[in-house]
Amino acid sequence: NSTTDTLIRAELISFARDPGIGDTPEPGSLEHYGDGLLWLKGQHIHAVGHFNELLPSLPENSDVLDYRDKLIMPGFIDTHVHYVQLDIMASYGRQLLDWLNDYTFPEECRFANHEHAEALSNAFLDEMLRAGTTTSQVFGSSHQGSVDAFFTACQKRRLRMLAGKVLMDRNAPEALMDGTTGIAASERLIEDWHGKQRLGYSVTPRFAPTSTKTQMDAAGALLRNDPSLWLQTHLAENSGELDWVAELFPGSRDYLSVYEEAGLVGSRSTFAHGIHLDNGMRKRLAERGANIAFCPSSNLFLGSGLFDREAANETGMAFTYASDIGAGTDLSGFDTLKSAYQVGQLRGQPLTAWQGFYGLTKGNAKALSLDSHIGQLAPTLEADFVVIDTQATSLLKRRINHCKTLGERLFALMMLADDRAIYETWAGGICQHHRDN
């Protein structure tokens, strides 16, 4: 019933805009209600405010869910993740190119089997919701059925999700290459899924080494035909990859220009990693409004390098936060922020909790052009949010109860919390995950 009222009394935290890089959030950026009310109508947020101020306007005899000991934030967003790699997380001891050949490509071959794709789609969504993530931008395998299975599972749960079929027509195992059929398969998936319910299609050339110029040009043509499509790929993650791209594209000025020449760089484009860029490339990305998905736990795991947030800020290049499972080591947004903080420390660029939680919610939503739908607790937006239990473990409880300010509490959560602190995850106005104990 689309007009059902749901009323939740809790501490509410959300960002109206970027809090800036200072130790305290810029005025007007943070919205915090210590004793707040989140009022849902059906799948959307109807009102947000102080409990006492909204009380007189509530429908008579309404039931209010009492979550006063919990903290509610917008659902976490993961801008770059491979659902098909869930089962190869934590595969030991390789850097990118060996890791792809030894673990990733063999695993992705399994997605020719539709039952496997269905099982993994559901397992992945269960894990994402358990971690408090309500929206992600997802790589399937090169099999179109992998994306049908994924979107079908998302549709059943009414989730807002972006996904696409990997395009790969060279330098990969025979069983994973789509030759000249990859673009037609993408077009069929776009026709069937893009804009259906809360689903969107991301055109997904894996990365320059595994697509011919012909395939990348055709991917660019898809984007020109329909500007509402998204684009996801990888860029400048690993030094072996950079050498390979230079060898494969001797006529291109640099790695980014390979994508520019194919028409793949726009405001709906997400490039994972972007570790090894110069300021010229960063400025070109900024001018096009594209974003780099910073995947800190993946970058640490594969030994790829340390993303430079300061250079991003100085050049105006947007970046987002992502897990990059299966190279990432955790699906939890808390863990992504912890790793981002650690990467920042090694660069002398510590990350504030304000930046971190803004990034995971409103910042990621904005960079994906989804901020009119998700990323904030605000009227008319979709009711996708996490209910956080700051007392979830004895350690967390000790540390949180020792904090004097909201900033300290959020920072402790960023460093110590994990999926045990996700009490509930709501999407589309319904509770989709409730912690077991």
Binding residues vs Zn ion (CB under 5 A): 272, 324
Q: Which residues contact 65 (CB under 8 A, 6 or more apart)?
A: 6, 7, 8, 9
CA distance 39 to 59: 11
Distance in Å, CB of 344 to Zn ion, minimum: 21
The residue (of 71 and 81) whose beta carbon lies closer to Zn ion is 81
CB-nearer residue toward ligand GUN: 121 or 329: 329
Q: What is the dihedral of CA 109, 111, 115, 120, to 10 degrees?
A: 120
Shortest reach from residue 405's CB to ligand GUN, in Å: 37
Residue 382's binding partner out of Zn ion, ligand GUN, none, with CB under 5 to 8 Å set by partner kind: none
> Could you give the CA distance from residue 77 to residue 368 in angstroms, rounded to a whole number?
10
Please choose which of ligand GUN, Zn ion, none residue 268 contacts, taking the beta carbon within 5 to 8 angstroms, the exact cut-off set by kind: none
Of the two residues 33 and 307, which places its CB atom closer to Zn ion in the complex?
307
Q: How far is the CB of 5 from ligand GUN (least distance, A)?
A: 44
Instruction: From the list Zn ion, ligand GUN, none, pick the one residue 198 interacts with, judged by a Cβ distance below 5 to 8 Å according to partner type.
Output: none
Looking at the Cβ atoms of 167 and 223, the one nearer to ligand GUN is: 167
The residue written with tokens 């996708």 in the block is 384
The least distance separating ligand GUN from the CB of residue 272, rounded to whole angstroms, comes to 7
Q: Which does 178 bind (CB under 5 to 8 A by kind): ligand GUN, Zn ion, none?
A: none
| Of residues 206 and 284, the one with the C-beta less far from Zn ion | 206
* 207: partner contacted, choices ligand GUN, Zn ion, none (Cβ within 5-8 A by kind): ligand GUN
> Considering beta carbons, is residue 8 or 290 the nearer one to Zn ion?
290
The least distance separating ligand GUN from the CB of residue 236, rounded to whole angstroms, comes to 10
298 binds, among ligand GUN, Zn ion, none (CB under 5 to 8 A by kind): ligand GUN
Q: How far is the CB of 93 from Zn ion (least distance, A)?
A: 19
Closer residue to ligand GUN in complex, CB, 88/351: 88
Give min distance, CB of 185 to ligand GUN, in A: 18
Nearer to Zn ion, 304 or 349 (CB): 304
Question: What is the closest distance, in whole angstroms, from the C-beta atom of residue 360 to Zn ion in the complex?
Answer: 18
Binding site for ligand GUN (CB under 6 A): 82, 96, 100, 104, 206-207, 234, 237, 298, 324, 327
Structure tokens of 25? Answer: 């959030």
| 388, β-bridge pairs | 71, 422
Select the binding partner of residue 9 from ligand GUN, Zn ion, none (C-beta < 5 to 8 A, by kind): none
Taking the least distance from each CB to ligand GUN, the nearer of 34 and 240 is: 240
CB of 430 to Zn ion, least distance (A): 30
